[in-house]
Amino acid sequence: MAVYLVCAIAALAGLLFGFDTGIISGALLFIEKGFTLTTVMKELIVSSVLLGAMAGSLCSGQLTDRYGRKPVILIISSLFIIGTLIASLAPNVQTILIGRLCIGIAIGIGSYTAPLYIAEVAPLELRGGLVSFNQLAITIGIMCSYFINYLFTNTEASWRWMFLIGIIPAVLLFFGMFFLPESPRWLVKQKKLGQAKETLRYLRANGNVDHELSSIEKSLSVHQASFSEIMAPWIRPVLFLGIMLGFLQQVTGINTIIYYAPTIFQMTGFQDTSTSILATVGIGIVNVLATIFAVVFLDKLGRRVLLLTGLVGMFFSLAILSLAFQWNSDSLRWIAVLCTFTYVICFAFSLGAMLWLLASEIFPLNVRGIAMSIAIFSGWLWNFVVSATFLSLLNSLGPANTFMVYAVMCVIGFIFCYYKVPETKGVSLEAIEANIRRGLPLREIGQPIFTPELASENIIN
């Protein structure tokens, strides 16, 4: 029971990730009314969070290793609180940017630390589900932000309230985390065995934790690679796969919808702000529902089927959206709503869930920390590039061509995933690592192998 509570509190970091990235979609429309904004200024307001997140994700590995998971999560919740206060009370656009940058740093560090902490306190048999739970928390955060956008649409200085509500989960995370234990794995690494044992006893109701403690000790005896070792020829292909997944998750355009949906809806003919924000609430809801579907079916249907089907659906949604803008018919706005809905659904059960899951599965143990943070950094980098250029692309290429660019990216994504993404369903992390060491092509590293030592482990995960 305790472990569920611990994970739910840590997942508030994922919720804040979703909330603080999603809230800008509606807030932007009102900031625009309060200050005169150029296109570049608008793009900066959206992407300042992402700049911060890039910086945060880069230093997250070192921070959590040196100071421990718990103090780092306490620090990021304080940063969330400070950044939210700065942004919501800001007298000018520059101050909004500083506040959002602060929030971004917290998001970037949290996007690595929270899933890591969850994975380290969770028992083995729950680990996979709890990793996907983090993605679910992100989408719930996005959905809440859209509701808040809608609720405060007609309020005076509405964007300030929209930002300010984010302080509630941040305060909950701070106080909740205060009472949570440090990760037992980190404690063992610091040679604080007594404390680690006590924490494990608290987390596992059954009391017998000696076996788990010794397996943590055993896994920590694996030599941890340095930054240069990560470029070793046998690791390079999986590192490339992780970087490509981060790249594809973003260049197929998800955050043009997540951050700019009301702006897009207004372009298609929805006149008033509140209707376009209401349509965006719908996007938030289907995003959560499709993520729940992914969490339930990832292990039954397999990663590849969901990934490839999702990419096909994303391609058709974007291509039809692009054609609808080209024809500019009366029904454009309804086609736009339908296409964005199907697009978000297809993303949620494919690339959305897959980056975080595969990043936690494909990397060998001795490079897992560094490699995961590189893959996550790649996601933030490309997120920044796409979000910081979307409005400019709309202005220069027009909506039809802009969405066609993202549609083409889906085709490239499909071809890449078809040839390179392995099926990791039902295979242990140890078997995946053994396959990488044997030099199998990427697509085959998820093959179960039946050596006497590994045969028993192929059933887990």
17 vs 150, beta carbon nearer ligand BGC: 17
The tokens of 368 are what? 């897992």
Give which of 305, 268, 212, 256 is closest to 405, Cα–Cα.
256
Helix, coil or strand: residue 294: helix
What are the contacts of 198-203 at 24+ separation with CB within 8 A?
202/2, 203/2, 203/3, 203/6, 203/121, 203/123
| CB 189 to ligand BGC: min, Å | 28
Selected binder of ligand BGC within 27, 51, 142, 238 (CB under 6 A): 142
Number of residues that bind ligand BGC (CB under 6 A): 14
- The span of 118-126, 131-139, 412-420, 453-461 binding ligand BGC (CB under 6 A) equals 131-139
When computed from its CA atoms, the radius of gyration of the chain, rounded to whole angstroms, is 22
> Cα separation of 37 and 31, whole Å?
8
Which residue is it, tokens 């609430």? 281
Determine if 138 is a binding residue for ligand BGC (CB under 6 A). Answer: yes
The tokens of 112 are what? 């690595």
Helix, coil or strand: residue 428: coil
| CB 380 to ligand BGC: min, Å | 8
| CB 262 to ligand BGC: min, Å | 15
Beta-carbon count within 10 A of 204 CB? 16
Give residue 261's identity as a one-letter amino acid code: A
The tokens of 184 are what? 């037992």
According to DSSP, residue 422 is labeled: P
Determine if 139 is a binding residue for ligand BGC (CB under 6 A). Answer: yes
Determine if 258 is a binding residue for ligand BGC (CB under 6 A). Answer: yes
Give residue 391's identity as a one-letter amino acid code: L
324 vs 359, beta carbon nearer ligand BGC: 359
| CB 146 to ligand BGC: min, Å | 11
| CB 390 to ligand BGC: min, Å | 13
Determine if 373 is a binding residue for ligand BGC (CB under 6 A). Answer: no
Selected binder of ligand BGC within 64, 145, 149, 255 (CB under 6 A): 255
Determine if 107 is a binding residue for ligand BGC (CB under 6 A). Answer: no
CA atoms within 13 A on the CB side of 168: 11
Task: Annotate each residue in 327-366 with x if it binds ligand BGC (CB under 6 A) or - if it does not, as one string.
Answer: -------------------------x--x-----------
Which burial class, exposed, middle or buried, applies to 97 when counting CB atoms under 10 A from its CB (0-12, 13-18, 19+)? buried
Determine if 110 is a binding residue for ligand BGC (CB under 6 A). Answer: no
- The span of 172-180, 208-216, 248-256, 399-407 binding ligand BGC (CB under 6 A) equals 248-256
174 vs 403, beta carbon nearer ligand BGC: 403
Give which of 220, 234, 341 is closest to 289, Cα–Cα.
341
Determine if 375 is a binding residue for ligand BGC (CB under 6 A). Answer: no
Q: Which of residues 5-34 bind ligand BGC (CB under 6 A)?
A: 21
Residue 428: phi, psi to the nearest 5? -75, 155
Selected binder of ligand BGC within 88, 149, 287, 366 (CB under 6 A): 287
Q: Which residues bind ligand BGC (CB under 6 A)?
A: 21, 135, 138-139, 142, 249, 254-255, 258, 287, 352, 355, 379, 383
